[in-house]
Structure 1
Amino acid sequence: MSPEWLLLILVLVLIAANALFVAAEFALVTVDRPTITRMADEGDKRATSVGKALKTLSTQLSSAQLGITVTSLIVGFIAEPSIATILRGPIEATGLPEGTSAAVALGLAFLLATGTQMVFGELVPKNWAIAEPVRVGRAIAGPQRAFTWVMSPLIWFLNGSANRVVRRLGIEPQEELASARSAQELGALATRSALEGLLDADAARRVTHTAELTERTAADAMTPRPRVEFMDATDPLADVLTLTARTGHSRFPVLGEDVDDVVGVVHFKHALAVPLAERAGRTVADVIRPVAAVPSAMPLDAVLGALRDGLQMAVVVDEYGGTDGVITLEDLVEEIVGEIEDEQDRPIGRHRQLGSDSWSLSGLLRPDEAGEITGVDVPEGEESDTLGGLVTEHMERFPEVDDEVVLEGRDARVLDEVGLPTPARVTLRVTRLDGHRVDRILMSVEPLEEEDEDDG
């Protein structure tokens, strides 16, 4: 066998090695870690090897890249001249001049070597590793880790040099790939699963809302102070039952000296437990219970911990120590599953659908609450928390009846059944005032085409 054919066999071996390194690189990056951990716990030794490789991911990737670089350089160095030498004879036999035959042979050799290396050494292993990362990872983890061990001095030097450059840029290198998902990533995964039919649309929304608990705060879910029914500590005990009958609520925050002095919470069952003959001489102060206080900036997952005990209500306190509102366990549940009504809830007329694309809404609704009702996604105000505040913010003055604010383009979206936004034109018209406060708003929605959005 001629030396050229021996060199071609070596080239094929090097392309196979290059394919192994490429497969290792993509498999280790895309493999599902929980799956590997579960398989390793069940005694799968190859999965255990993959897990060990993942713990030194940066080093393993440096090793794979070193292997890819070295094999590619060697393939390029020996493949083209070997193939050109083999092709030169047949090409000269066609009658082409010697110089022309050499040039044609070299050109064909370049195309054949590059194409073979690209397809079989790069693209095939990459696509295979992305399609079956667990299977490929289990197959290549052992050889990959062995190569890393053999080449560890050189890899340590090269990786260390790269890390020093990265640190100069103000970034701390990481050995492992971060496996935690952000709320946005979890929401995107849930939405994609719903679009592909793998997850129910309602379940996708619940997953998204649950993930967002860590990014939303008590101020986002609370009932604002103007909407809270307070009681004074000196009120007659019978007033608790009267207020419960009127509002349908079962517990009320109790004030001391002023609205910023919430001294506790009273539940109607505690008032009801007092014998009827004794109620006339008793006050709310006799049956109040302690109430938790949480800062308005506390994340909702932390608020949940504070509400697990006691009467499932907490006072939300602003940065100045004043009462911002109250938050209940039901408020948190509604952040996940949407509005909840039970037999004790009374209709309070906060919203009414007037047509397929218009609603009468309370100005005290938050934009996200309005979105749950209407399926319309409007932005939160920079300095306001409610729809009425959003209108006031856009008007830059106290609104009057029939004042309108139009939101469109990136400021307004209609949410489809799985929560994906499409452009819309949303009109908010003031229909009723309570003093300077916007009491009622008429929301009208007009879907937009993408071209209309771009024109806006």
Structure 2
Amino acid sequence: MIVEWLLLLAVVVLIAANAMFVAAEFSLVAVDRPTVARLAETDPKAKSLREALRTMSTQLSGAQLGITITSLVVGFIAEPSIATLLQVPIRAAGLPEETASVVAFTAAFLIATMVQMVFGELVPKNWAIAEPLKVGRAVVGFQRGFTWVSRPLLWFLNGTANHIVRALGMEPQEELASARSAQELGSLAARSAQQGLLGEELARRLEHSVALNERTASDAMTPRPRVRFLELDETASDVLDAVRASGHARFPVIGESVDDVRGVVLFKDALAIPSADRAGRTVQDLVRPIRAVPSTMPLGSVLEVLRLGVQMAVVVDEYGGTDGIVTLEDVVEEIVGEIDDEQDNPTRAYRQLEERRWSLSGLLRPDEASETLSIELPEGRESDTLGGLITEQLGRFPRVGDEVLLGVRDETRPDGDGLPTPAVARLKVTRLDGWRVDRLTLTVEDAEEGEVDA
């Protein structure tokens, strides 16, 4: 019996060692590297942890080797030792010897498995995930020591595994990649907001910032029909009149046609001319060079162009014609949302009429409306605006009173899992400007209140 008790003591020690290997494995994966690097300047344990992170693959291999060895040895000695100790009280209960042996070994197997899983695996794993830095600092010395002792065996095992990985067309890495892609950063910001670690507005701006290059100049531009162009022979007085009428401070200047953009004229240049001379000075005297960007240029590149010029560029389509105008404010609004100054009309693009019902500009993009109204509107297949989406759904030019039903997801009414609920958006044309939709109303209804057009 003494031997069995000594073996059980060895099992306890082995389970504790197994727990340390598991804790080391999960803490190395979960710990925040910048925090470790900062603490390593003054904390010896953090410095040791930083060194372990630099040889991540080797350290994880050492942890896996330790887990494998301890688990095998525990399984080898725990079950027979526990079974031997259990057979005495089981036989004393009056069971036959063969039955007592089966019961003892079954109970020993269950007890050994439960203790190993709970104390050797689950507890250290959950603790390491909850407090990776604290746990990592506590076990890194033991982990690095075992890895150093088992270097020859690890060298052989790692070499064999790396050879197989290379044969599969991949290159093994010693460290985990700490860099994150733009999509990963955006997802990280969204998850942080959901967990209350970041404000929703800040998270939204971070998402938009990292996804800036996923949008193009055509997404942010002011479309050609909405642009106020000036001609070369107009006067400085005409420039000031245009400023008063529109509230803008920059105007593209055209030559023979809208597709012939010659430059840009600034409000401050026209204002600098003495009042008596303004009627005699033409835009041609004031025009400045303007940059042109293709409609497919990513907004990150557009931003660089605008920073170096007059904060306005002409957007050119694939045929060389003028598609619209993009300004620095347009790009900034893609990040921070709509910017209204004292000369902006806040009801121009959208206006809430009542709960779940809005009046919208037909030139508003579906993604802009989605963000403003907190619903997930579908994008058009060939169109860029809400008006174009209605025309696309109708298959003809719209008329006042036409309605379109779209399947959407309502973020203002999440389900039990916090996800947007299905709903129906009813888009109704209220005003036309020629052939295009100038104004529409959008009403969000519960999904059962209407059917979505196929």
User: Do the two structures share a fold, i.e. TM-score over 0.5?
Assistant: yes
Residue in structure 1 matched with residue 410 of structure 2 by the alignment: 414
Contact 1:428 1:443 in 2 (8 A): yes
Work out the number of aligned pairs and report it.
450
RMSD: 2.9
After superposition, where does 1:20-99 map in structure 2 within 5 Å?
20-41=20-41, 43-99=42-98
Of residues 252-261 and 382-391 in structure 1, the stretch that sits farther from structure 2 once superposed is 252-261
8 Å contact kept, 1:248–1:346: no
Deviation at 1:159, TM superposition (A): 3.2
1:11 aligned partner: 11
Mapped contact 2:413–2:420 kept (Cα < 8 A): no
1:432 corresponds in structure 2 to 431
Distance in structure 1 (CA, Å) of the matches to 2:74 and 2:178: 36
> Residues of 2 paired with 1:381 and 1:348: CA distance?
24
d(CA) in 1 for partners of 2:250, 2:355: 36
Runs of 4+ aligned residues of structure 1 deviating over 6 Å after TM superposition are 417-420
Alignment check: 8 A CA contact 2:413 2:421 kept: no
Contact conserved, 1:46 with 1:138, CA < 8 A, in 2? yes
Supply the distance in 1 between the matched residues of 2:216 and 2:353 (Cα, whole angstroms): 32
Q: In structure 1, what is the Cα distance between the partners aligned to 2:165 and 2:224?
A: 50
Letter in 2 for 1:77: F
Residues 247 and 346 in structure 1, CA contact (< 8 A), matched pair in contact too: no
- Counterpart amino acid of residue 336 in structure 1: I
Q: Equivalents in 1 of 2:274, 2:313: separation in Å? A: 28
Partner of 1:389: 388
Give the corresponding residue for 1:220.
Answer: 219
Shift of 1:360: 2.0
| Cα deviation code 1:271-292 (max 9, x no counterpart) | 1112233333332222222223
TM-score for the superposition, normalised by structure 1: 0.89
Q: Distance in 2 between matches of 1:65 and 1:334?
A: 50
Deviation at 1:250, TM superposition (A): 0.6
Q: Which runs of 5+ in 1 are unaligned?
A: none
CA offsets, 1:188-231, max 9 Å, x none? 54444445544444333333333332433332222222222222
Mean Cα deviation higher: 321-330 or 72-81: 321-330
Measured at CA, do residues 246 and 66 of structure 1 come closer, stay the same or move farther in structure 2, by a change above 3 Å? same
Describe how 1:55-204 pairs up with structure 2 within 5 A: 55-204=54-203
SS of 2:379's equivalent? coil
8 Å CA contact retained: 1:191, 1:420: no
2-structure distance, mates of 1:149, 1:322: 68
**More displaced 10-residue stretch of structure 1: 7-16 or 311-320:** 311-320
Q: CA deviation at 1:30?
A: 1.2
TM superposition shift of 1:183: 4.7
Read off the aligned partner of 1:9 and give its amino acid letter: L
* Cα contact 1:249–1:345 (8 A) shared by 2: no
Give distance in 2, aligned partners of 1:8 and 1:212.
58
* Compared CA separation, residues 18 and 194, structure 1 to 2 (3 A): same
Matches within 5 A, 1:266-281: 266-281=265-280
How far the C-alpha of 1:348 sits from its partner, in A, is 6.9
Question: Is the deviation greater in 100-109 or in 223-232?
Answer: 223-232
- What CA distance in whole angstroms lies between the structure 2 residues aligned with 1:146 and 1:294? 59
Alignment check: 8 A CA contact 2:217 2:326 kept: yes
2: CA distance between counterparts of 1:452 and 1:94? 72
* Offset from partner CA, 1:389-433 (integer Å, 9 cap, x none): 21222233333333322112xxx1223399963322101122333
TM-score for the superposition, normalised by structure 2: 0.89
5+ residue gaps, structure 2, are: none
